[in-house]
Chains A and B, each alone.
Chain A
């Protein structure tokens, strides 16, 4: 085991040495902000789940069934999450890490290398799932008065639960690496994971929880739930965990210990099997992983791609950057799965509007439709900000080590940034307008509201994109292995905060005048002089704000990039 710990040492030492390098202030601030958000989310989940369980406990006959069914579903969800997260981390640790050449040139057996990587992978893939599983598990002990024994059994069961999931993930990855290059496996698994995630969301949406507003549809659900108390497969780790917790809650110590013993024996066996398999197959798979994956589609190959109409708008060097931007974006398969996710979420977004039970609300329908449409402008702009945070904000950082080409090329930094701007502006403008028009059509809004939404979104989109490009240039990270993650940096945080501030300001500025226009329309009266003044001032301020949001970040970004020196 000495070698296994020696292999883990660089990770530990790098963590320890973080304080020596980099901006401590930035890191503290990030920790504080993300920590606060995390804590709020944790506390919120805990209190909601606690209330749900209290509510269930109050339901006679099937309250307990519901609570235990929920526990079983939570366990299955967390187990799936652990496996999925484990697949991605073990793939990266075992086959894609940059230090693999170094580690494999050392006189250490493959099993030991595997074990050290597996330990790292288990910790990385489990810690967050573990922390966020606690708000689901802890309330059971409180509501059903499980006491110290329940919490002890929870701890005893959680560890093998993570170990089993992590071993299973590494076995899946090792098997996949025998057939697919490592780079391709990640794309495949991310795609499958997203598909699974979307299926869950879609199936939830198709149940149409809004129907529960209607009491007449509640009875069949109650009858259905009565049939739910069926036993689970005795071979699943989730069943052992569930049975152990249930036994702990009802004070059956024997059954609780027996089921956790099953979990532990399975975990130990799985680790042994995974280590044995690694001795036989890990290195073979790693050697295969060196093969560069072939491109999945040649649809966008240089010969076939036609960007003529668009690229002819630019001069020689600028055109070179535009073509490069489009080609690298399209050929980066990691973008595809995320675009797929964005598209699917937008479909769900639109579907939500199509099934809104507005006719059952207590507020007048016409008023409600237009109120939702007005707020939807903000929501659509927020969706755009989130998409931009993922795609636009890292657009400068994504140049990475190749940024010297930009610095040394005969294209000004200003042109470079504006190229980036237009590459993202056109598709995202189209997306936002499509979103707003379709939702307005589904809501049957007035022509005024339709025009207002389209114009407001048209004015806001350039600002949001410009802030993404500008702040991405102010806070570039050319060293990052995955620039998409730069959104979690301090710059990304400032970008999201500014976007929310910008959207909220526009909405607030427009809210007053729009309300008056709408009400005068309903009451068939004219706007007063003061109302006209308010309207002109508000819309002028909105225009001013949007122009400033467009120009200032680009200027600041340009200034920062001019000052940026490679290698520092």
Chain B
């Protein structure tokens, strides 16, 4: 469903993402973890079609992003780490704006937006300006907008930031349900417990390169750790890589 081939991004002399190759099948929740500045957000922005790769390609549902960006993006629900929202729009107006761009007709929009706003406990605030929303409410609204068009792929950067425990549980449940129905989820996170809890497979990126992929068990084997959580595995793998 998601295919990254030799994906590379350079900013001047800095190589942010270096020849990243990866395949994520349909219905899988893939966790993308790495230290600060490892290249996670840059990878996700290339996957979302927000920036162009210097080399390599992003293929979503067999559609190359570089050649057919509109069709590829139609299949994605993109949730950035620092989402921009039009503060002077109401929550409902923002969803309408998203729906218009994804080509949802009026009937489908009303049906889905009502359901999603209720699901995310935003129905009472739907007609209030976004500027009056709390950080968590804004995060829930941006997730609502991303799933409104029923995407085949969700690309999400730090989904749990700003959410309260109930919100975190709700989003985890949502991702599991969507994955069960066949949606592929590519999730970048620093919250290793969430990655361990939700993700089917995890990829570790460090200094722009993918250094390991697999289930938590496979990563544990790779790090030669008998017991211990993902945090320990992560630290061993990334520290090992940083030794010259």
Find out whether the CB atom of A101 lies under 8 angstroms from the CB atom of B100: no
Question: Across the interface, which residues of A come within 8 angstroms of B208, CB to CB?
Answer: none
State whether the Cβ of A290 lies closer than 8 Å to any Cβ in chain B: yes
Q: Determine chain A's interface SS by DSSP, over half rule.
A: helix
Judging by beta carbons under 8 Å apart, are B78 and A105 in contact? yes
Contacts of B45 in A (CB 8 A): 101
Are the CB atoms of B52 and A106 closer together than 8 Å? no
Given known contacts A9-B97, A106-B73, A291-B12, A17 and B51 CB-to-CB distance under 8 angstroms? no
- A14 CB to closest chain B CB (Å) equals 4
Q: Given A9-B97, A106-B101, A109-B70, check contact A284 B76 (CB 8 Å).
A: no
Cα–Cα, bound, A528→B29 (Å) = 95
Q: Say whether A284 contacts B52, CB under 8 Å.
A: yes
Say whether B131 contacts A21, CB under 8 Å. Answer: yes
Structural contact, B70 and A10, CB atoms closer than 8 A: no
Instruction: Give the contacts of A1-57 with B (CB-CB under 8 A).
Output: 2-3, 6-7, 9-10, 13-15, 17-18, 20-21
In the complex, which residues of chain B have a beta carbon less than 8 angstroms from the beta carbon of A108? 70, 73, 101
- A565 close to B (CB within 8 Å): no
- Contact of A287 with B by CB under 8 A: yes
Q: How many A-B residue pairs have CB under 8 A?
A: 88
Contacts of B69 in A (CB 8 A): 107, 109-110
CA separation between A291 and B9, bound complex, in Å? Answer: 11
Within 8 A of B (CB), among A522-563: none
- A14, A105, A283, A291: which contacts B88 (Cβ < 8 A)? A14
**Least Cβ–Cβ distance between B19 and chain A, in angstroms:** 18
Query: How close is A418's CB to chain B, nearest CB, in angstroms?
Result: 33
Interface size, B (range): 35 or more
Q: Does A221 contact B (CB under 8 A)?
A: no
Partner of B50, one of A104, A107, A291: A104
Q: Which residue of A lies closest to B127 (CB)?
A: A20
Bound form: Cα–Cα A478–B142 in Å:
24
The distance in angstroms between the C-alpha atoms of A296 and B78, with both chains bound, is 35
B129→A21 contact, CB < 8 A: yes
Q: Does A332 contact B (CB under 8 A)?
A: no
**Contact B131 A287, beta carbon cutoff 8 Å:** no
Q: Is the CB of A6 within 8 A of B86?
A: no
Residues of B within 8 A of A107 (CB): 69-74, 101-103
Known: A14-B88, A107-B70. A6 touches B52 (CB 8 A): no
Contact present for B51 and A286 (CB under 8 Å) = yes
- Residue numbers in B under 8 Å from A17 (CB-CB): 88-90, 93, 129
- Please name all residues of chain B whose beta carbon is closer than 8 Å to the beta carbon of A3 when the two chains form the complex: 100-101
Knowing A104-B49, A291-B11, say if A6 contacts B101 (CB, 8 Å).
yes
Interface presence of B83 (CB below 8 A): yes
Is B48's CB within 8 Å of the partner chain A? Answer: yes
B27 on the A face (CB < 8 A): no
Docked complex Cα distance between A345 and B73 (Å) = 51
0/1 string, B91-115, CB within 8 A of A gives 1: 0011011101111000000000000
B39 CB within 8 Å of chain A: no
Q: Report which of A14, A98, A283 forms a contact with B89, defined as CB distance below 8 A.
A: A14
Known A98-B84, A109-B70; contact A20-B102, beta-carbon cutoff 8 A = no
Chain B residues with CB under 8 Å of A286's CB are 51
In the bound complex, CA of A2 to CA of B101 (Å): 9
A227 within 8 Å of B (CB atoms)? no
- Establish whether residues A7 and B89, one from each chain, have CB atoms under 8 Å apart when the complex forms: no
The verdict on A216 contacting chain B, using a C-beta distance below 8 Å, is no
Is B80 located at the chain interface by the 8 A CB criterion? yes
A102 interface residue, CB < 8 Å from B? yes
8 Å CB interface, B24-53 against A: 45, 48-52
The complex places the Cα of A17 from the Cα of B131 at a distance, in Å, of 11
Contact (A101, B50) CB under 8 Å given A17-B88, A17-B129, A290-B11: yes
Interface: A99 (CB within 8 A) = yes
CA distance A6 to B76 in the complex (A): 19
- A85-118 interface with B by 8 A CB criterion: 98-102, 104-110
Q: Which residue of B lies closest to A283 (CB)?
A: B52
Bound CA–CA A104/B72 (angstroms) = 12
Cβ distance A437 to chain B, nearest Cβ, rounded Å: 48
Given A17-B89, A105-B50, A105-B80, verify A10-B71 contact (CB < 8 Å): no
How many whole Å from B49's CB to the nearest CB in chain A?
Answer: 6
Whether A290 touches B97, Cβ cut-off 8 Å, given contacts A14-B89, A17-B88, is no
Q: Are B76 and A105 in contact (CB under 8 A)?
A: yes
Closest A residue to B16 by beta carbon equals: A290
Please, which residues of chain A bring their CB within 8 A of the CB of B86?
A: 10, 13-14, 99
The 3 tightest CB contacts between A and B, nearest first, are: A14-B88, A6-B100, A107-B73
What residues of chain B have their CB less than 8 Å away from a CB belonging to chain A?
A: 11-12, 45, 48-52, 69-74, 76, 78, 80, 83-90, 93-94, 96-98, 100-103, 129, 131-132
Apart from A101-B84, A107-B70, A108-B73, list 5 A-B contacts with CB within 8 A.
A17-B89, A21-B129, A107-B102, A284-B52, A291-B12
13 A-B pairs with C-beta separation under 8 A: A3-B101, A6-B100, A7-B101, A9-B97, A10-B97, A13-B89, A17-B88, A18-B88, A101-B48, A106-B73, A108-B101, A109-B70, A110-B69
